[in-house]
Structure formats: structure tokens, C-alpha cells
């Protein structure tokens, strides 16, 4: 997540208007309605300026001539004008409400789609609260800007110009008195715009930080309670919300000061004009009706002038919201690959998840059978001099994976063993391209994975992670995410059986039971088994399992292993393993050490010939006991 300082520097020279202009592609489809609504609002607002003219006619005519019928007629005109004004403002609201809700929805959909296409490295860097606040608060600010300040800055400017023209036409000397504050008000607005945009940005970023803390506190509630950390967590929350409160107070102070200037100066000018006008009426140079009309016009302009302060404030907030929105939208998505890449653009594919790294990669059964090894190339899964360094790691840091050369033959299952933190998870994440290799190649049946479309790649490879993620959906939907849309009950039952997840049938509504955040809570082992079922449901050609049995008790593990053995016989698999029982599932074992594959062989061979492996396994055996 970029820091606030970096953001402030980056923003130098970028005006609010320039930011807001980036909204044009979204506003374009509704431009006719928006312009229509603005026109209606201008007419409605100018209707308000006709009131003083009717008043002038009434005061100089029927009132001066003691004509009650004329006064009633004038009152009727005023009533009709009032109704017309109210009706027109109502029409404006009706014109903008639906299209702007559509603009907000389209922007939110684009943001969501883009988030799904952004690489995992992006999500590693950005706090989820910052993304959430951009998709909610910022978009709401934008909708409000399009509905209100955008129109009313125009409407009020036109109304003020028309009002000033009417006043100058009635009595130009008084008109000039009222115009006197225009220059200082404009200078104050300019100063306000610069200062407020900075503070608005800070406030919106702090809302994002606060969202992150709340989200973490809710997700980690067990840890917080378990370790009695509620006080420190509450302190962190209080500090952040105190900061936000401070920023909001700065905003309020800025608004108050601009408001003081915008309200006071015109009021003083109106007072001066009233005194001057009364003297002129007393001297007989001005009719009472003209003075009434003049002052009514001046008062009718009070709202358009007074509102400039908060319209500018809302525009600034919309400008920073636009900036924040496009900071995410401008981030480069995963590199396109291969010929045609439907997965790149598909928001409706199997990556509809909110948890990006969770169990987001699932194989399907249809395609793999059709994809045979290319002639003359080694089949299976092969790493060719693969090097990998995390994108945010310093350039001189040692790569996590320095040079990986490994060949898993077609149909073979290979266990990956290594000390904790050595890079096993990282290595498995390279196969479905959750991260891109820094150098070297990975091939599936001889074909470079970077040359395949991601859709094809993810059809070939299915993954189950150590931390199984379940989505707010039914058990069945969670498992079937791993298969083509055509997969149904038989595939589901088979996968549940393989993963020893038959407990799903005994849940209150069977496989239609809701799980995930809003649903029934499942144990760690149950979640792992469902994640495993999801990985195998599509009968993938390649299976990558990151320590998938870590949360199972010994008996369940044995049962899952027995079932997995059948699955592994049909696929080419890479399994991160910590325990000998998992290692024994595989045909061979690769030992990862110092960023390289230090040894490959059967479990018993390595036990005999490799001291590091024997050491790792002896510790694990004790754990097993």
C-alpha cells in the first residue's frame, strides 16, 4: 500500500478537475440525462429569480394603487411560480437518480473485475480495508458528486450571473455594491481548494486504514480473545479513529472558515445596499418596488452563493475519491498470455471469490484428457532452472528459489519436503502462476505455462492450500467451484468420498448447508477435506497440494490418504509434505534446501543417503507419535 507521503508527492500538480475528467467514460452513457437534468435545474433556479420581479410589480402596482384583486392575482402568480420551481427540482431528481445509480454500479463492477485480474503480488501489498473503502465510500462520494455538486456548481453559477444581471439592470450602483465581495470570495475559494484537497485525501486514506483494523479485528476475533488482546486492539483502533477525528476537524475548520467569508461578505454588501437603497428611495431617486425587487433578488442569491463552500468541498472529496479509485484501476493486471485469454477478462469465471489467494484455483475434467504431451518433449511437470524473488523484496536480496530443476513424470506424484520457510509454498504457487517466475521456465507436458492461456492452465492444474478457504455458499457450491459448470451431484459425491468428507451429507441440509463466513462453522479438518474435495472434483491432470492433510487426526488422515492414493494414481502431483505419512503417498520425494532441489529419491533412499532429509523426517516422526 503506497504511503500517505508518497501519495501526497505523487499528487503534486494533479488538479481535481483533471482527476474528475477521468470519470467521463462512465458518465458518457448518461450524458443526455445528466445534461437534461442540469438544464431543468437551471430553469428551476432561474424561476426563483422571477419572484422578485412579481413582487416589484405588486408593490409598485396593486399595493401602491390599493387594488386587492391585483394583489390576489400577484399572489396566484407567486403560487404558480413556487409550484413550477418545486416540480422542476423534483423532475431533476427523477432524471438523475436511476442513471447515477447505474454509473456507481458500473464503476463498482469494473473495480471488482479488475481486483480479480490483479496479480497476487498486488493483493500482498495492499491492505484489504483500503480496497474495501475504495469500492464503497469513495464510489458513494462520486455518485453524490455527480448528482449534486456537478450540477449545482453550474446551476448556481448561471443563477448568480442572471441575478447579478437583473440587479445591475434595476439599479447599477447598488449592483456594484453587491459585486464588491466577489474578488475576495474567489481568492478564498482558490486557497480553500488547495488546502481542502490535501486534507480530504488524508481523511479518505485514514478511513481505509480504519476499515482494515475493523476487518482484521473481526476476522481475528478468536486470536484477540484467546490472547486477551482486546485492549491493545482497541487502543490501535482508538488511535486511528482519533487521527481520523482530527482530520475531520481540520476539514470542518476549513469549511467553517470559507463559510464565514462566503456568508459574511455578501451579507455586509446586502446591508450596505439596503442602507444606500433606502436613502435613494427617501430622496425619490428609486421606487420602493425596485428596492424590494433588488433586495429580494439579492436574498434569492444567498443560497447559490452560500452553497459554493460545501459544493467545492464535495467536489474535492470526489476528486480524491476518483484518484483513489484509479490508483487501483491503473495497476497492471496479470500479464496476458497465450492465444486469447478468456480467464483474463472473465469476472464470471471461477475466480469470483473475495479471497484472492484462498482456494482460488481449481481444475476441471474436460480439457486435460485432450492435451497430450507435445512430441519429442518431456511430459509431466517440469521446472527448468527456475528462479524466483518476491517482487517487493530488495533487488540485492537472495532469491527465495535460486535454481530449481525438477521433473515430475506423467502420472507420478512427488512430495516436496524442506525446512519451514524454505520456499515450498512459494514453489507450488508458481505452477498455477499465482506468482511469475523471475527466470527459468515451468512446463506442463512440455508446454511452457507462460504460453498457455490462464484458462487452460487452470483447467490443467488444481490446487489445495494449507489454509482452506470456504466461501459464503453451500457445501456443494464450494466443492463444485473446482469443476466445470456442468459438473453435478455424481462428481460432488465422488469428490466428497475421495476427500473423506462424507460428513457433509450429515450436515443439517446436507450438501445444501450454507458454510463460510455467514454459514455454519466447520472444524479445521472439515474445511481441509472440503478444500481437498474441491481440488479433486474436476479430475485434474495436475494436482498441487500444499500440506493438505495437516489439520486431520491420524485416523481421518489415514482414510483420506487411502482415497488420495487412488486419485494420485490418475494424476501428476506435487505435494508439500511435512510428515512421513504424507510423504509415503508419493512415488518420490524432492528435498528443497537453500533455494535448490538438493536431492530427489524415494523416501527410504533419502533417509539413508541424505542427512538433512533424515533430520527433517526424524523430527516429524516424533511429531507423528
Ligand X SMILES: Nc1ncnc2c1ncn2[C@@H]1O[C@H](COP(=O)(O)OP(=O)(O)OP(=O)(O)O)[C@@H](O)[C@H]1O
For the beta sheet containing 461-464, the strands, ordered from the edge strand earlier in sequence to the opposite edge, are 447-448, 439-444, 381-388, 401-408, 596-601, 588-593, 413-418, 572-576, 542-546, 461-464
Residue 550 contacts residue 528 (beta carbons within 8 Å): yes
Site residue total, ligand X (CB under 6 A): 13
By CB under 6 A, residue 425 contacts ligand X: yes
Q: Is 583 exposed, middle or buried (0-12, 13-18, 19+ CB in 10 A)?
A: buried
Among 52, 149, 277, 423, binds ligand X (CB under 6 A): 423
Smallest distance from ligand X to CB 401, Å? 9
Query: Which residues are 447's β-sheet partners?
Result: 444
Residue 205 contacts residue 3 (beta carbons within 8 Å): no
Residue closer to ligand X by CB (options 50, 598) is 598
By CB under 6 A, residue 239 contacts ligand X: no
Among the candidate windows 177-185, 361-369, 414-422, 561-569, which touches ligand X by CB under 6 A?
Answer: 414-422
Whole-number Å distance between alpha carbons of 614 and 608: 7
Residue 355 contacts residue 465 (beta carbons within 8 Å): no
Among 39, 65, 302, which Cα is nearest to 160's? 302
By CB under 6 A, residue 438 contacts ligand X: no
C-alpha cell belonging to residue 302: 444567498
Residue closer to ligand X by CB (options 311, 592) is 592
Residue closer to ligand X by CB (options 421, 508) is 421
Among 100, 199, 400, 575, binds ligand X (CB under 6 A): 400
* Full 3-state SS string of 500-521: CCHHHHHCCCHHHCEECCCCEC
Residue closer to ligand X by CB (options 92, 389) is 389
Among 3, 339, 420, 518, binds ligand X (CB under 6 A): 420
Residue closer to ligand X by CB (options 320, 426) is 426
Phi, then psi, of 520 in degrees rounded to 5: -65, 140
- Of residues 366-395, those binding ligand X (CB under 6 A): 390, 392-393
By CB under 6 A, residue 201 contacts ligand X: no
By CB under 6 A, residue 582 contacts ligand X: no
Buried (b) or exposed (e) across 25-43, using 16+ Cβ within 10 A?
A: ebbeebeebbeebbbbbbb
Distances in Å between the alpha carbon of 158 and those of 11, 21, 145, 488? 31, 21, 18, 63
Among 246, 591, 236, 272, which Cα is nearest to 424's? 591
Among the candidate windows 7-15, 152-160, 418-426, 614-622, which touches ligand X by CB under 6 A?
Answer: 418-426
By CB under 6 A, residue 309 contacts ligand X: no
Among 247, 131, 161, which Cα is nearest to 200's? 247
Distances in Å between the alpha carbon of 411 and those of 380, 384, 560, 567? 7, 19, 19, 10
Smallest distance from ligand X to CB 45, Å? 55
Residue closer to ligand X by CB (options 364, 426) is 426
Residue 544 contacts residue 565 (beta carbons within 8 Å): no
Among 125, 256, 151, which Cα is nearest to 195's? 256
Residue closer to ligand X by CB (options 63, 591) is 591
Among 92, 202, 350, 424, binds ligand X (CB under 6 A): 424
Residue closer to ligand X by CB (options 608, 615) is 615
By CB under 6 A, residue 422 contacts ligand X: yes
Residue closer to ligand X by CB (options 237, 390) is 390
Smallest distance from ligand X to CB 525, Å? 18
Among the candidate windows 170-178, 299-307, 415-423, 495-503, which touches ligand X by CB under 6 A?
Answer: 415-423
Among 226, 421, 490, 508, binds ligand X (CB under 6 A): 421
C-alpha cell belonging to residue 558: 489415514
What does the per-residue mask of binding to ligand X show for 109-148, with x meaning CB under 6 A? ---------------x------------------------
Residue closer to ligand X by CB (options 126, 325) is 126
Residue closer to ligand X by CB (options 408, 591) is 591
By CB under 6 A, residue 463 contacts ligand X: no
Phi, then psi, of 356 in degrees rounded to 5: -70, -40
- Of residues 515-534, those binding ligand X (CB under 6 A): none
By CB under 6 A, residue 398 contacts ligand X: no
Binding site for ligand X (CB under 6 A): 124, 390, 392-393, 400, 418, 420-426
Amino acid at each position: 500500500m503506497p504511503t500517505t507521503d508518497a501519495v501526497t508527492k505523487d499528487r503534486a500538480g494533479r488538479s481535481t478537475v483533471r482527476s474528475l475528467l477521468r470519470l467521463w467514460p462512465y458518465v458518457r452513457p448518461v450524458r443526455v440525462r445528466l445534461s437534461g437534468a442540469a438544464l431543468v435545474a437551471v430553469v428551476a433556479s432561474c424561476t426563483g429569480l422571477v419572484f422578485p420581479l412579481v413582487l416589484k410589480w405588486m408593490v409598485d402596482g396593486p399595493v401602491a394603487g390599493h387594488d386587492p384583486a391585483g394583489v390576489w392575482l400577484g399572489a396566484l402568480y407567486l403560487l404558480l411560480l413556487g409550484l413550477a420551481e418545486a416540480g422542476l427540482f423534483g423532475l431533476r431528481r427523477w432524471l438523475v437518480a436511476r442513471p447515477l445509480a447505474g454509473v456507481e454500479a458500473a464503476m463498482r463492477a469494473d473495480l471488482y473485475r479488475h481486483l480479480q485480474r490483479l496479480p497476487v503480488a498486488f493483493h500482498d501489498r495492499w491492505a484489504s480495508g483500503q480496497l474495501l473503502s475504495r469500492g464503497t465510500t469513495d464510489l458513494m462520494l462520486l455518485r453524490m458528486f455527480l448528482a449534486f455538486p456537478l450540477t449545482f456548481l453550474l446551476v448556481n453559477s448561471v443563477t448568480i450571473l442572471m441575478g447579478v444581471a437583473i440587479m445591475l439592470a434595476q439599479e447599477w450602483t447598488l449592483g456594484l455594491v453587491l459585486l464588491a465581495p466577489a474578488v475576495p470570495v474567489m481568492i478564498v475559494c482558490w486557497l480553500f481548494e488547495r488546502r481542502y484537497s490535501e486534507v480530504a485525501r488524508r481523511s479518505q486514506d485514514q478511513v481505509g486504514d480504519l476499515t482494515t483494523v475493523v476487518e482484521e479485528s473481526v476476522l481475528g476475533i478468536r486470536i484477540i480473545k484467546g490472547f486477551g488482546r482486546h485492549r491493545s486492539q482497541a487502543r490501535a483502533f482508538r488511535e486511528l479513529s482519533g487521527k481520523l477525528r482530527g482530520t475531520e476537524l481540520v476539514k470542518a475548520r476549513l469549511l467553517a472558515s470559507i463559510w464565514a467569508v462566503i456568508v459574511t461578505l455578501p451579507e455586509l454588501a446586502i446591508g450596505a445596499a439596503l442602507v444606500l437603497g433606502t436613502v435613494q428611495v427617501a430622496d425619490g431617486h428609486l421606487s420602493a418596488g425596485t428596492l424590494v425587487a433588488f433586495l429580494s433578488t439579492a436574498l434569492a442569491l444567498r443560497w447559490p452563493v452560500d452553497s459554493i463552500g460545501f459544493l467545492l468541498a464535495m467536489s474535492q472529496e470526489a476528486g480524491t475519491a476518483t484518484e483513489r479509485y484509479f490508483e487501483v484501476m491503473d495497476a497492471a493486471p496479470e500479464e496476458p498470455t497465450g492465444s486469447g485469454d478468456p480467464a483474463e477478462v472473465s469476472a464470471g469465471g471461477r475466480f469470483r471469490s473475495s479471497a484472492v489467494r484462498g482456494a482460488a484455483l481449481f481444475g476441471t475434467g474436460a480439457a486435460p484428457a485432450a492435451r497430450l504431451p507435445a512430441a519429442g518433449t518431456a511430459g509431466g511437470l517440469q521446472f527448468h532452472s527456475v528462479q524466483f524473488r518476491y517482487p517487493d523484496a530488495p533487488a540485492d536480496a537472495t532469491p527465495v528459489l535460486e535454481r530449481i530443476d525438477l521433473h515430475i513424470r506423467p502420472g507420478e506424484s512427488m512430495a516436496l519436503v524442506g525446512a519451514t520457510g524454505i520456499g515450498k509454498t512459494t514453489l507450488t504457487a508458481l505452477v498455477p502462476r499465482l506468482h511469475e517466475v523471475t527466470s527459468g521456465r515451468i512446463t506442463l507436458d512440455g508446454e511452457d505455462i507462460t504460453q498457455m492461456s490462464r484458462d487452460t492452465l487452470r483447467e490443467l492444474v488444481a490446487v489445495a492450500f494449507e489454509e482452506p478457504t470456504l466461501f459464503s455458499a453451500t457445501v456443494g457450491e464450494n466443492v463444485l467451484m473446482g469443476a466445470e459448470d456442468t459438473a453435478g451431484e455424481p462428481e460432488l459425491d465422488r469428490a466428497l468420498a475421495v476427500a473423506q468428507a462424507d460428513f457433509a451429507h450429515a450436515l443439517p441440509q446436507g450438501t445444501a448447508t450454507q458454510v463460510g463466513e455467514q454459514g455454519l462453522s466447520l472444524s479445521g479438518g472439515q474445511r481441509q477435506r472440503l478444500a481437498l474435495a474441491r481440488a479433486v472434483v474436476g479430475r485434474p491432470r495436475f494436482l498441487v497440494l500444499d500440506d493438505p492433510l495437516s489439520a486431520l487426526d491420524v485416523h481421518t488422515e489415514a482414510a483420506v490418504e487411502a482415497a488420495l492414493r487412488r486419485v494420485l494414481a490418475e494424476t501428476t502431483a506435487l505435494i508439500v509434505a511435512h510428515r512421513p505419512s504424507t510423504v509415503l503417498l508419493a512415488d518420490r520425494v524432492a528435498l528443497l534446501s537453500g533455494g535448490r532441489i538438493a536431492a530427489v529419491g524415494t523416501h527410504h533412499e533419502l533417509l539413508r543417503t541424505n542427512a538433512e532429509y533424515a533430520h527433517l523426517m526424524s523430527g516429524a516422526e516424533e511429531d507423528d507419535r
